[in-house]
């Protein structure tokens, strides 16, 4: 099957404060199949966010390119939805207005966009909070709204950068489970960046392991475990061990 996103020979250099060039991502190659769930894991600073920001059209590649359905991604577009760790919802808009903001911008009428927003809020279990404001919500609730908001734009691909990174362990596990449900319902192509090996194994079809300085792909692993997965499965433990060792060597 044709990949939805195709990353070829991608490199990214930054200039340091001292004016030196610093290679953050080095010759990164990856094809993302339609409807797949890919997780990218790697130590802090290995270039995960940089790769995702280029895929989102928020940053330019120094060399190589990222394609969406065969065309180079050069700026943010509706086909590619984003959920980041601290995805700032608009504080002055209610939950439902936040979710409907994209469709409003696209000129969808109020009735239709609110009806759709309600559907997505139901999907992420936030229907009861439709009239609340972001400051009234917990971190986990805000990330649920952020997911609903991304989905309301009908993206083809969902890019998620440490979306649960700021949440407590229990809420994190809850949201992982819900994200899988949403993914099973919508079958969006998901690329999720995390430094949590456990999260990657719980969620992904395929795990891309990065090493740092410069950020390179160290290994790509297919996860052949049935969902819902349990941390108590022997394969889960084995895979955790394997990936942690690979990361240590990086
Ligand atoms: P990760 O998300 O894996 O933690 P990042 O992609 O954020 O890593 O960063 C990779 C490397 O590039 C880091 O060393 C970081 O300091 C550097 N970097 C990221 N963005 C910039 C920038 N805008 N200017 C300079 N250096 C940057
Ligand atoms: Mg990051």
Whether residue 81 has pLDDT greater than 90: yes
Closest CA to 118 of 130, 135, 131, 133: 130
Taking the centre of ligand 1 as the mean of its atom positions, its distance from the CA of residue 45, in whole angstroms, is 6
How far is 213 from 203, CA to CA, in rounded Å? 26
Chain centre distance of CA 137:
21
Protein residue whose Cα sits closest to atom 7 of ligand 1 = 49
Is the CB of 47 within 6 Å of ligand 1? Answer: yes
Protein residue whose Cα sits closest to atom 16 of ligand 1 = 45
Cβ atoms of 48 and 71 closer than 8 Å: no
Q: What is the pLDDT of residues 124-173, one digit of tens each?
A: 999 999 999 999 999 999 999 999 999 999 999 999 999 999 899 999 99
Whole-number pLDDT of residue 250 = 64
The arithmetic mean of pLDDT across residues 39-52, rounded, is: 96
> What does DSSP assign to residue 215?
B
Is the CB of 250 within 6 Å of ligand 1? Answer: no
Whether residue 178 has pLDDT greater than 80: yes
Closest CA to 117 of 80, 148, 154: 148
Ion ligand 2: residues, CB < 5 A: 49
Is the CB of 237 within 6 Å of ligand 1? Answer: no
Whether residue 3 has pLDDT greater than 70: yes
Is the CB of 208 within 6 Å of ligand 1? Answer: no
Cβ atoms of 247 and 209 closer than 8 Å: yes
Cβ atoms of 28 and 51 closer than 8 Å: yes
- What is the percent of the chain where pLDDT is above 70? 99
Neighbours of 53 (CB within 10 A): 18
Give, to the nearest 10 degrees, the angle between helix 169-186 and helix 110-123: 120
How far is 48 from 52, CA to CA, in rounded Å? 6
Taking the centre of ligand 1 as the mean of its atom positions, its distance from the CA of residue 22, in whole angstroms, is 10
How far is 51 from 10, CA to CA, in rounded Å? 8
In angstroms and rounded to an integer, the radius of gyration of the C-alpha atoms of the chain is 18
The arithmetic mean of pLDDT across residues 94-111, rounded, is: 96
The arithmetic mean of pLDDT across residues 5-11, rounded, is: 98
Is the CB of 44 within 6 Å of ligand 1? Answer: yes
| C-alpha dihedral (231, 237, 239, 241), degrees to nearest 10 | 130
What is the best residue among 10, 16, 24, 162 to mutate for testing ligand 1's pocket, by most ligand atoms within 8 Å of CB? 24
User: Which pairing describes strands 37-41 and 189-194: parallel, antiparallel, or unpaired?
Assistant: parallel
Taking the centre of ligand 1 as the mean of its atom positions, its distance from the CA of residue 23, in whole angstroms, is 10
Instruction: Write the burial class of residue 20 (CB in 10 Å: 0-12 exposed, 13-18 middle, 19+ buried).
Output: exposed
Is the CB of 176 within 6 Å of ligand 1? Answer: no
């Amino acid at each position: 099957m044709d990949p939805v996103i195709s990353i070829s020979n991608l490199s990214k250099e930054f200039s340091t404060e001292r004016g030196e060039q610093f290679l953050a991502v080095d010759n990164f190659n990856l094809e993302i199949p339609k409807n797949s769930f890919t997780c990218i894991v790697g130590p802090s600073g290995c270039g995960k966010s940089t790769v995702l920001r280029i895929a989102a059209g928020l940053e330019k590649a120094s060399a190589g390119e990222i394609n969406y359905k065969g065309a180079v991604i050069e700026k943010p577009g509706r086909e590619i939805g984003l959920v980041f760790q601290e995805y700032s919802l608009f504080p002055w808009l209610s939950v439902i207005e936040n979710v409907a903001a994209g469709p409003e911008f696209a000129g969808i009428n109020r009735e239709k966009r609110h009806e759709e927003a309600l559907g997505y809020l139901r999907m992420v279990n936030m229907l009861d909070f439709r009239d609340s404001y972001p400051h009234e919500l917990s971190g986990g609730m805000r990330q649920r709204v952020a997911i609903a908001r991304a989905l309301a734009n009908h993206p083809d691909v969902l890019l998620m950068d440490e979306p649960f990174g700021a949440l407590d362990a229990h809420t994190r596990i809850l949201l992982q489970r819900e994200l899988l449900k949403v993914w099973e319902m919508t079958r969006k192509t998901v690329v999720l960046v995390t430094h949590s090996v456990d999260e990657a194994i719980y969620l992904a079809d395929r795990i891309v392991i990065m090493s740092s300085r410069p950020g390179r792909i160290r290994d790509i692993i297919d996860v052949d475990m049935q969902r819902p997965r349990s941390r108590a499965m022997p394969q889960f433990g084995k895979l955790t061990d394997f990936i942690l060792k690979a990361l240590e060597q990086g």
